[in-house]
Amino acid sequence: MFSKACEYGIRAATYIALRSLEGKRTSLKDIAKETDSPVAFTAKILQQLSKNKIVESVKGASGGFEIQKRNVHTIKLSQIVYAIDGDKVYHGCGLGLRECNGAKPCPVHDKFIGIRDGLKNMLETTTLLEMTRGLEVGLTYLKR
Amino acid sequence: MFSKACEYGIRAATYIALRSLEGKRTSLKDIAKETDSPVAFTAKILQQLSKNKIVESVKGASGGFEIQKRNVHTIKLSQIVYAIDGDKVYHGCGLGLRECNGAKPCPVHDKFIGIRDGLKNMLETTTLLEMTRGLEVGLTYLKR
DNA sequence: TTTATTTAGGACATTTTTGTCCTATTTATA
DNA sequence: TATAAATAGGACAAAAATGTCCTAAATAAA
């Protein structure tokens, strides 16, 4: 569904959000550890998220990544996916046709629209805050 | 959503089904041309579909690919996707966790299940016959 | 029987994705 | 001020996906 980069990105952002709600900044090392992701690769992804203003990075000793508390409930999964994978989740034909639309559709065009709208809707309505719920109490997990 | 190989595979199988309903066997060359797919790569994919009994291949002059008419309405998209991409569309966590289930779910587990069930249902209920409808009359397309 | 046509399959090539490593820069703190 | 800790970013490496090419085998038809 998503690229590996995007999966790591969502997990990383979610963990940063969780820690930010506790008023804590998190190092790359901890993020990678707590999301079971490759450190250096995660670093690249966090650079992208930082450039896209989804997370803030602070260099130097006691630096790390954080998200302003007031932003945790406004940032949607769709923003993270867009920052990393672009809009190919939305546009792009299910059968790979370069052009596929209502006027000249592929055989599964209408059916795919339904599924993609579901995905789109989910991504656009799920906030980082919502992602963090359950993590603290062990109802949901970011690794294993 | 699917791999390129899978997209080509669905397009190829759909075209073969269309031709088979007309009582015609189709050469690799024609399939690639009519689905705008790379010839040699499509050949590999058709080998897989042939091994999985989704299409039948006939070697030699006037050979090619075909699907028994009686099978065109029983073969589902899910079988083609499974033959090429395996079951990763079904299993596999939205956030890439190796293990993710109701007992130890990722934060989007439940939401993903809904979307994936939609996709799964679509693949399991759409037959090749249904895929061919509209092609002859120019309502749907397999290329461009 | 020879030839032309067509798929099968192995080997190879290219591109994209995923992942690592090293150096520079920034910053807190001793 | 020196040092240690941390991100930024470029270069490189490995793996996977995508795609090509060539030869062998099968088959219809001349």
State mean pLDDT over A45-71: 98
**Average pLDDT for B128-140:** 97
**Phi, psi values for residue B61, rounded to 5°:** -55, 140
Q: Do B108 and A131 touch (CB under 8 A)?
A: yes
pLDDT tens digit sequence for A1-25 = 999 999 999 999 999 999 999 999 9
A144 domain residue, yes or no: no
Q: A91 pLDDT band (50/70/90 cuts)? A: confident
Cα-only R_g, chain A: 17
pLDDT digits (tens, 9 = 90+) for B26-70: 999 999 999 999 999 999 999 999 999 999 999 999 999 999 999
Both tokens assigned to B68:
């028994």
DSSP string, A87-141: TTTTSS-TT--SS--SSS--TTHHHHHHHHHHHHHHHHH-BHHHHHTTTTTTSS-
ipTM surpasses cut 0.90: yes
Cα(A55)–Cα(A60) distance, integer angstroms: 16
> DSSP string covering A5-36, please?
HHHHHHHHHHHHHHHHHTT--B-HHHHHHHHT
Q: How many residues are listed for chain A in this entry?
A: 144
At A43, list the tokens. 């670093």
In a domain, B113, yes or no: yes
Res B90: pLDDT: 84
Instruction: Decide if B99 touches A, using CB distance below 8 A.
Output: yes
- Domain ranges, residue B46: 4-132
The residues close to strand D, meaning Cβ under 7 A, are A 26-29, 40, 43-44, 46-47, 50-51, 57-65; B 3-5, 8, 38-41, 43-44, 58-63
Q: A55 lies in a domain?
A: yes
- Domain harbouring A112, CATH code: 1.10.10.10
- CB-side neighbour CA atoms (13 Å) of A8: 22
- Strand C-proximal residues of B, range 51-110, CB below 7 A, are 51, 57-65
Q: What is the mean pLDDT of residues B60-83?
A: 98
* Tokens matching residue A74: 């406004």
Which residues of A are less than 8 Å from B133 in CB distance? 107
Handedness of CA B130, B142, A116, B120 (dihedral sign): positive
Number of compact structural domains in chain A: 1
Average pLDDT estimate for B119-128? 97
pLDDT for position B57: 98
Task: With respect to residue A139, please indicate whether it lies within any of the assigned structural domains.
Answer: no
In a domain, B140, yes or no: no
Does residue A86 fall inside a structural domain?
Answer: yes
Would you state the pLDDT for residue B116? 94
